[in-house]
């Protein structure tokens, strides 16, 4: 699914470029102060695992376990909030992705997690947070043609923080828990295209740079939207589309904390208010 969303976004970029070559496009300079508040809900299937040792010790965790599916977590409801502040073509952005997962199930095989052994047949309940927060700078490149179509590109660079929390419990007092926060630099690209009128298409890609033990926080989506009132820089928009994301992290302990979450395909629905 990741490749499909990536391909769709790439097609949008290519389509805009081809259109730009075939028509008379003029650079459109933005002036003054603008801002926007963006909120969306994302929902999709999740796969992967949470390998959590105790102090990196050998034998303190099962390999690549627990899998999300064996602790009753198969879908991921996600909240996404964003804020941008623009001055002319300069943009400062902030984004918060809230990934709160919970589930219940009965283990079919013995599980060791954070030094605690959960025997096969144990009923377990899990609560996991895979939140991440980012912020940075983007530059707007906006173009308009003689027919009123608009194409805009926003290359971006910033920093993201992964905020992890894990709790696994079973009757009888068995419990495993771990929490930490890790940061990484972040790059992104957003493209928007409108043929003129209230409809528009947007493609977004945002990813941290996972050097060494830095977390990989990758998100992409392709959406279609409608201008409910006003204009693109002053009004309200609603949008609907598909998305995909990955959250991967592995540290350098002898037995590492190893987190792998692939989420998608996602349904993405949101509302953006510009002022």
Segments of the chain with pLDDT less than 70: 1-23
CA–CA distance, 133 with 2 (Å, rounded to integer)? 21
CA–CA distance, 114 with 112 (Å, rounded to integer)? 7
Nearest alpha carbon to residue 124 among 106, 100, 112 = 106
CA–CA distance, 247 with 253 (Å, rounded to integer)? 19
pLDDT for residue 2: 45
Q: What percent of the chain has pLDDT over 70?
A: 92
CA–CA distance, 114 with 228 (Å, rounded to integer)? 50
CA–CA distance, 25 with 173 (Å, rounded to integer)? 67
- Was domain 2-274 assigned CATH 3.40.50? no
pLDDT for residue 25: 86
pLDDT for residue 242: 98
CA–CA distance, 173 with 80 (Å, rounded to integer)? 35
CA–CA distance, 183 with 226 (Å, rounded to integer)? 35
SS3 label, residue 258? strand
Nearest alpha carbon to residue 132 among 245, 221, 17 = 245
């Amino acid at each position: 699914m990741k490749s499909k969303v990536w391909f769709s976004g790439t097609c949008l970029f290519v389509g805009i470029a081809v259109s730009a070559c075939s028509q008379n496009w003029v650079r459109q300079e933005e002036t003054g102060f603008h801002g926007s508040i963006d909120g969306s809900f994302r929902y999709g299937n999740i796969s992967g695992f949470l390998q959590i040792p105790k102090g990196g010790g050998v034998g303190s965790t099962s390999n690549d376990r627990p899998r999300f599916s064996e602790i009753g977590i198969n879908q991921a409801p996600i909240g996404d909030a964003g804020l941008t502040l623009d001055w002319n073509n300069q943009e400062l952005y902030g984004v918060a992705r809230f990934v709160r997962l919970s589930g219940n199930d009965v283990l079919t095989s013995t599980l060791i997690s954070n030094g605690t052994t959960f025997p096969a047949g144990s009923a377990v309940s899990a609560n996991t947070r895979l939140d991440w927060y980012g912020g940075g700078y983007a530059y707007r490149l906006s173009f308009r043609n003689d027919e009123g179509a608009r194409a805009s590109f926003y290359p971006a660079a910033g920093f993201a923080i992964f905020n992890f929390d894990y709790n696994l419990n079973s009757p009888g007092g068995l419990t495993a828990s771990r929490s930490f926060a890790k940061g990484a630099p972040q790059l992104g690209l957003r493209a928007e295209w409108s043929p003129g009128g209230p409809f528009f298409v947007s493609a977004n890609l945002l990813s941290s740079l996972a050097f060494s033990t830095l977390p990989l926080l990758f998100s992409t989506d392709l959406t279609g939207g409608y201008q409910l009132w006003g204009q693109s820089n002053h009004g309200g928009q609603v949008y609907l589309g598909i998305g995909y994301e990955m959250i991967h992290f592995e540290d350098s302990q002898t037995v590492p904390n190893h987190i792998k979450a692939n989420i998608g395909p996602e349904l993405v629905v949101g509302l953006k208010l510009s002022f």
